[in-house]
C-alpha cells in the first residue's frame, strides 16, 4: 500500500510529517534520515513519554485518582509529538503505527522497525522509572503495569473499553495529523488531550492503556503479565476499526458524490 493509493478528495495523506511522509517527497532521502533517524526518534520519544507516565503512576499512590496519571500521560505525549513529529510522525504507539500505515500515511518498511522501537522505548522507560522510585512505590503500583482487571469477569468490558478509547485516539491521529484536508497545527495538543480524557473516563475499567508498548515495558520490568493480552487485542482492534471507518466513509462519500454528479450530467 502506498500513500498515493489512499489519496482522494476526501482523505489526502499530508506530506511533511517526517517518517510518515518520506515516501511523498520527490527527493529521496539518505538511508539514515529515511529509516534510522525516525526509529531513533520513536525510541527516544517513547522513552520520555512512557517514563513520565510510569513515574506518575508510581508516585500517585491513589491520592488523586486518575487525575495525575491522566495529565502526566496527556501532557508528555503532546510535548513528545510536538518535538519529534517532524522526524518520525510521533507515533510512540504500535496501534497508532498500524493505523497510520493502513490509511496510507507511512510505508511498510517502517512499520515493524517503528513497533520494535516503541517497545524498546517502553522497556527503557519502565526500567528508568523503577530506578528513580522507591521499592515500596514500585510494588504498590505493580511497576506501573496495568492491573485494573482483577478477574476474568472483567476482561470483556476492559477489552471493549480499550478498543473504543483507542478508536477515539487513532481517529484523532488520522483526521488531525494525517489527513491533509483536516490536519491541524493543534494535533499534538488534541492527541494528548484525547489520552487525558480517555484515562479520566476509562482508568477504572481497564487502566486506559491504548498503547501495547506502554503495557509491554512495565510488564517486562515488573513481571506482571496477568491479562496482558487485553492491551494488545483492544488497542489493535480499535485501530483496525478506525481504518475501516476512514476507508469506508471516504469511499462511500466519494461514491455518492460521483453518483450525484453523473446523474446531473445525464439530466
Query: Which CATH number fits the domain that encloses residue 24?
Result: 1.20.1080.10
- Neighbouring CB atoms inside 10 A of 178's CB total 29
Share of the chain above pLDDT 70, in %: 83
Average pLDDT value for the chain: 86
Would you say 52 and 214 are in contact if contact means Cβ atoms under 8 Å apart? Answer: no
Q: How many domains does the chain have?
A: 1
The model's pTM? 0.85
Tell whether the model's pLDDT for residue 103 goes beyond 90: yes
Distance CA 151, CA 201 (A): 20
Is residue 179 helix, strand or coil?
strand
The C-alpha cell 480499550 sits at 162
The C-alpha atoms of residue 169 and residue 23 are separated, in whole angstroms, by 24
pLDDT digits (tens, 9 = 90+) for 196-222: 999 999 999 999 999 999 999 999 999
26 contacts: CB under 8 Å, gap ≥ 6:
none
Q: What range does the domain containing 34 cover?
A: 3-266
- Is residue 108 within 8 Å of residue 251, measured between CB atoms? no
Amino acid at each position: 500500500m502506498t500513500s498515493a493509493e489512499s489519496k482522494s478528495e476526501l482523505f489526502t495523506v499530508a506530506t511533511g510529517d517526517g517518517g510518515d511522509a518520506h515516501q511523498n517527497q520527490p527527493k529521496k532521502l539518505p538511508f539514515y534520515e529515511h529509516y534510522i533517524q525516525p526509529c531513533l526518534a520513536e525510541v527516544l520519544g517513547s522513552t520520555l513519554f512512557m517514563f513520565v507516565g510510569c513515574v506518575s503512576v508510581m508516585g500517585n499512590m491513589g491520592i488523586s485518582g486518575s487525575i495525575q496519571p491522566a495529565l502526566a500521560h496527556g501532557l508528555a505525549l503532546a510535548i513528545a509529538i510536538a518535538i519529534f513529529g517532524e522526524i518520525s510522525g510521533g507515533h510512540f504507539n504500535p496501534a497508532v503505527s498500524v493505523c497510520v500505515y493502513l490509511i496510507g500515511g507511512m510505508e511498510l518498511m517502517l512499520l515493524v522497525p517503528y513497533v520494535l522501537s516503541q517497545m524498546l522505548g517502553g522497556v527503557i522507560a519502565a526500567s528508568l522509572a523503577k530506578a528513580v522510585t522507591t521499592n515500596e512505590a514500585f510494588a504498590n503500583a505493580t511497576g506501573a503495569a496495568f492491573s485494573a482487571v482483577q478477574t476474568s469477569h472483567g476482561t470483556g468490558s476492559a477489552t471493549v473499553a480499550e478498543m473504543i478509547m483507542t478508536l477515539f485516539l487513532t481517529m484523532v491521529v488520522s483526521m488531525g495529523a494525517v489527513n491533509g484536508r483536516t490536519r491541524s497545527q493543534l494535533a499534538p495538543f488534541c492527541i494528548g488531550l484525547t489520552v487525558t480524557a480517555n484515562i479520566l473516563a476509562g482508568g477504572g475499567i481497564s487502566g486506559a492503556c491504548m498503547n501495547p508498548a506502554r503495557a509491554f515495558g512495565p510488564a517486562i520490568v515488573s513481571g506482571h503479565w496477568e491479562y496482558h493480552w487485553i492491551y494488545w487485542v483492544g488497542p489493535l482492534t480499535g485501530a483496525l476499526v478506525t481504518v475501516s471507518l476512514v476507508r469506508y466513509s471516504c469511499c462511500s462519500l466519494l461514491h455518492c458524490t460521483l453518483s450525484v454528479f453523473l446523474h446531473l450530467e445525464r439530466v
